[in-house]
């Protein structure tokens, strides 16, 4: 089977002498085990390169998330159009997932106002209908590459009512901010009627009942119904008047600064070994050391199977 080189589309150079490429090509042509995974690396690389090269020319941008099922007659659709327009007038590009519903509305508002409307589309088993209001368009195969583009090139997130995809993007952004894996940026929720129940659940269940989050974590986002208020706030954040970078976040060491792809270096986890494994604080086993599936036995097997350097 003869194969091409997807990365060459982004970098027009002769890769015929590339030893890594030649090794991958040979492995695939010989049907070697794991060869498809080797080739997948190049496909992922090509998708990142296309994304980086395209998005690098996008000005300061706000990403708008929301349901693809929202119809044009829905008030939230009209609000998303108004937000796209308001952001464009304040100099922001508007990034969406490129689909219908809220994504279409935000792109529409930005384009009609003469702004930059970016659509980061995704190929799905059931065809996604791309909206016609994109001035810059990319199509992704991998969700995780698409998410990197959202995070790396966004100065803020705005979430309208949506489903699992919207919730996924919301909570991923909050996780990255909470863990300081990225610099904090504004996260806005539009629609108090829609979001209030979730926020109340977070406060009562996560914070008060189970203590799985801290109180300040509920300050990582803002909620409003006022589109102009949201746009003004994001503009002020961009100008540095109410930016959140120093609110509750301690100073980070130089080795923990943000990397080129947009995330932050961290501290390597401490590996638990058999010698310092504490059965009394481990809640995943029977507690009987002579049991074949006891924590101590499992730790010993893991140490043998996955030795640490």
Q: Are residues 86 and 46 in the same domain?
A: no
* C-alpha angle 242-247-253 in degrees, rounded to nearest 5: 120
Residue 46 belongs to a domain: yes
Average pLDDT over residues 175-199: 95
Residue 255 belongs to a domain: no
- What's the CATH code of the domain at 190? 3.40.50.450
Residue 90 predicted with pLDDT over 60: yes
% of the chain surpassing 70 pLDDT: 66
> Beta 61-65 vs 93-96: how paired, if at all?
parallel
Which band of pLDDT confidence, cut at 50, 70 and 90, is reported for residue 128?
confident
Average pLDDT over residues 82-90: 98
Q: Which two tokens stand for residue 246?
A: 């120093």
- Domain encompassing residue 290: 268-309
Q: Are residues 76 and 137 in the same domain?
A: yes
Average pLDDT over residues 80-104: 97
Per the model's pLDDT, the better-predicted residue between 207 and 15 turns out to be 207
SS (H, E, C) the chain: CCCCCHHHHCCCCCCCCCHHHHHHHHHHHCCCCCHHHHHHHHHHHHHHHHHHHHHCCCCCEEEEECCCCCCCCCHHHHHHHHHHHHHHHCCCEEEECCCCCHHHHHHHHHHHCCCCEEEEEECCCCCCCCCCCCCEEEEECCHHHHHHHHHHCCCEEEECCCCHHHHHHHHHHHHHHHCCCCCCCCEEEECHHHHHHHHHHHHHHHHHHCCCCCHHHHHCCEEECCHHHHHHHHHHHHHCCCCCCCCCCCCCCHHHCECCCCCECCCCCCCCCCCCCCHHHCCCCCCCCCCCCCHHHHHHHHHHHCCCC
Which band of pLDDT confidence, cut at 50, 70 and 90, is reported for residue 259?
low
Q: Are residues 91 and 203 in the same domain?
A: yes
Residue 163 predicted with pLDDT over 60: yes
pLDDT at residue 37 in the model: 80
Q: Compute how many other C-beta atoms are within 10 angstroms of the C-beta atom of residue 73.
A: 7
pLDDT at residue 13 in the model: 46
Residue 234 predicted with pLDDT over 50: yes
Q: Which two tokens stand for residue 101?
A: 């519903």
- What is the three-class DSSP state of 251? coil
pLDDT at residue 38 in the model: 79
Q: Are residues 67 and 186 in the same domain?
A: yes
**pTM confidence score:** 0.74
Q: Are residues 93 and 122 in the same domain?
A: yes
Residue 152 predicted with pLDDT over 60: yes
Residue 248 belongs to a domain: no
pLDDT at residue 74 in the model: 98
Average pLDDT over residues 184-202: 97
Residue 221 belongs to a domain: yes
Q: Are residues 281 and 162 in the same domain?
A: no
CA atoms within 13 A on the CB side of 167: 6
Residue 234 belongs to a domain: yes
Residue 309 belongs to a domain: yes
pLDDT at residue 302 in the model: 58
- What is the three-class DSSP state of 78? helix
Tens-digit pLDDT profile for residues 261-272: 667 666 666 665
Residue 217 predicted with pLDDT over 50: yes
Number of residues that this document lists for the chain = 309
Q: Are residues 45 and 73 in the same domain?
A: no
pLDDT at residue 129 in the model: 84
Residue 200 belongs to a domain: yes
Q: Are residues 87 and 142 in the same domain?
A: yes
Domain total for the chain? Answer: 3
pLDDT at residue 36 in the model: 76
- From CA 96, how far away is CA 61, in angstroms rounded? 10
Q: Are residues 102 and 46 in the same domain?
A: no
Most confident of 34-38, 170-174, 272-276: 170-174
What backbone torsions phi and psi does residue 228 show, to the nearest 5 degrees? -65, -40
Q: Tell which residue, 58, 115, 59, has the closest CA to residue 83.
A: 115
Which band of pLDDT confidence, cut at 50, 70 and 90, is reported for residue 5?
very low
Q: Are residues 202 and 81 in the same domain?
A: yes
Chain-wide mean pLDDT for the chain? Answer: 82
Per the model's pLDDT, the better-predicted residue between 187 and 256 turns out to be 187
Largest pairwise CA distance in the chain? 72
Residue 48 predicted with pLDDT over 80: yes
Residue 253 belongs to a domain: no
Residue 150 near residue 169 (C-beta atoms within 8 A) = yes
pLDDT at residue 252 in the model: 58
Q: Are residues 29 and 67 in the same domain?
A: no
Q: Are residues 49 and 66 in the same domain?
A: no
């Amino acid at each position: 089977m003869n194969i091409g080189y997807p990365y060459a589309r982004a970098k027009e150079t002769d890769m015929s002498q590339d030893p890594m490429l030649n090794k991958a090509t040979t492995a695939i042509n010989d049907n070697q085990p794991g060869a498809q995974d080797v080739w997948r690396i190049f496909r992922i690389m090509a998708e990142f390169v296309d994304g980086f090269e395209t998005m690098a020319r996008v000005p300061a941008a706000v990403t708008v998330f929301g349901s693809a099922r929202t119809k044009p007659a829905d008030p939230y659709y009209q609000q998303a159009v108004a937000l796209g327009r308001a952001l464009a007038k304040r100099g922001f590009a508007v990034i969406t997932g490129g689909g219908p519903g809220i994504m279409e509305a935000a792109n529409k508002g930005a384009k009609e106002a003469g702004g930059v409307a970016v659509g980061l589309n995704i190929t799905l088993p059931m065809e996604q209908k791309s909206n016609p209001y994109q001035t810059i368009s990319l199509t992704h195969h991998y969700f995780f590459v698409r998410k990197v583009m959202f995070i790396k090139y966004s100065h803020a997130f705005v979430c309208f009512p949506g489903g699992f995809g919207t919730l996924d993007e919301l909570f991923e952004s909050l996780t990255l901010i909470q863990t300081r894996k990225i610099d904090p940026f504004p996260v806005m929720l539009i629609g108090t009627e829609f979001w209030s129940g979730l926020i109340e659940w977070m406060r009562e269940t996560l914070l008060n009942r189970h203590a799985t989050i801290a109180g300040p974590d509920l300050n990582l986002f803002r909620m409003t119904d006022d589109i102009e208020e949201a746009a003004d706030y994001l503009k002020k954040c961009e100008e540095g008047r109410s930016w959140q970078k120093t609110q509750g976040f301690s100073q980070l060491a130089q080795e923990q600064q943000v990397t080129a792809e947009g995330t932050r270096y961290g501290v390597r986890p401490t590996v638990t070994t058999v010698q310092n494994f504490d059965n009394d604080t481990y809640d995943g086993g029977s507690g009987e050391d002579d049991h074949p599936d006891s924590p101590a036995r499992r730790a010993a097997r893991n140490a043998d199977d996955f030795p640490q350097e």
